[in-house]
Amino acid sequence: MVKQIRRAAGGLKTGHAGTLDPFAEGLLIVGIGRAATRRLGDYMKLEKEYFAAVAWGAATDTGDPTGKIVAEAYEATPGEGQIIEALRRFQGVVEQTPPAYSAVKVGGVRLYKAARRGERVEAKPRPVEIRELELVNRDDQGFEFRVVCSHGTYVRTLAEDLAQALGGYAHLKRLIRTRIGEFHLEDAESLEGVVERLTAGGKRS
């Protein structure tokens, strides 16, 4: 994505703040030009808001739909009250172990690189803050929630931990980042829009 923008920007220095999982959608802050890329560091540590859809019944090795199913249980999605109760328990500062497929480094090695080689490297649990967590939908297939969390929170892991607390297995079906600090997805430009504006002659974004 960043490559596409860099090409459209005529090779100007281009970078982004905060990675977005490959399967995820939503907001990414992209800086174009030296001045903008320099400011990207300020945006890395901002809180994030996501909407997530949880597929109930099966856990995958990656925690998302791209992975292999590693555990299954044919049980109905828990009731609304049960889910709300579980969500309440995950609010505040909670310990979270980054998933095997993540960009977190252990001993200088990215976890996903070790995982792809079939190695088992365990990351240490670390504290993250879940500031808001609410159920927005529930049906037979699973449920959807909205979360506002500190930087460094893995929503994939949150979904797995929630499933465990609810006595079942689950993985994220969809994940959409809707806010980074005061930057809202509602105000963002689409990738096509950015590329179009850049190639139309404008050099700044």
Partner 1 sequence: MEVVRGLENVKAAPGALVTVGSYDGLHIGHQRIIRSMRRHRGGPITLITFEPHPQRVVRPDFPPPPQLTTLDERIALFEKSGVKRLVLIKFDAAFSELTAERFVKDVLLGRIGMGAIFVGPGHRFGRGREGDVELLGHMGRKFSFSVEVVPPVVRQGAPVSSSRIRKTLLSGDARRAFEWLSRPYFLSGKVIKGDGRGRGLGFPTANLTLAGDGKLIPPPGIYASVAEWDNLRWPSATHIGPRPTYPDAAPSVESYLIGFAGDLYGRSMRIGLVSRLRDIVAFDSPTQLSQQMKRDVEDAQKTLAAEHFGSSARLRARRFLT
User: Is there binding between residue 36 and partner 1 (CB under 8 A)?
Assistant: no
Are 26 and 187 spatial neighbours (Cβ–Cβ below 8 Å)? Answer: no
Burial of 72 (0-12, 13-18, 19+ CB in 10 A): exposed
Return the ∠ at Cα 41 (arms to 16 and 175), rounded to 5°.
45
* Least gap, CB of 147 to partner 1 (angstroms): 11
The yes-or-no answer on residue 21 being catalytic is: yes
Are 180 and 43 spatial neighbours (Cβ–Cβ below 8 Å)? Answer: yes
Closer residue to partner 1 in complex, CB, 122/134: 134
User: Is there binding between residue 176 and partner 1 (CB under 8 A)?
Assistant: yes
Closer residue to partner 1 in complex, CB, 77/96: 77
Catalytic position from the list 21, 61, 139, 161: 21
* Least gap, CB of 116 to partner 1 (angstroms): 29
User: Is there binding between residue 197 and partner 1 (CB under 8 A)?
Assistant: no
Residue 201 gets which letter from DSSP? T
Q: Which of 20, 36, 44, 53 binds partner 1 (CB under 8 A)?
A: 53
Q: Does residue 123 sit in helix, strand or coil?
A: coil
Residues 6+ apart with CB under 8 A from 135: 80, 83, 84, 87, 143, 144, 145
- Residue 164 in tokens: 């465990």
Q: Which of 61, 144, 150, 205 binds partner 1 (CB under 8 A)?
A: 144
User: Is there binding between residue 143 and partner 1 (CB under 8 A)?
Assistant: no
Q: Which of 45, 89, 113, 184 binds partner 1 (CB under 8 A)?
A: 184
Instruction: Give me the active site residues, please.
Output: 21
Residues that bind partner 1 (CB under 8 A): 26, 51, 53, 134, 136-137, 144, 146, 174, 176, 178, 181-187
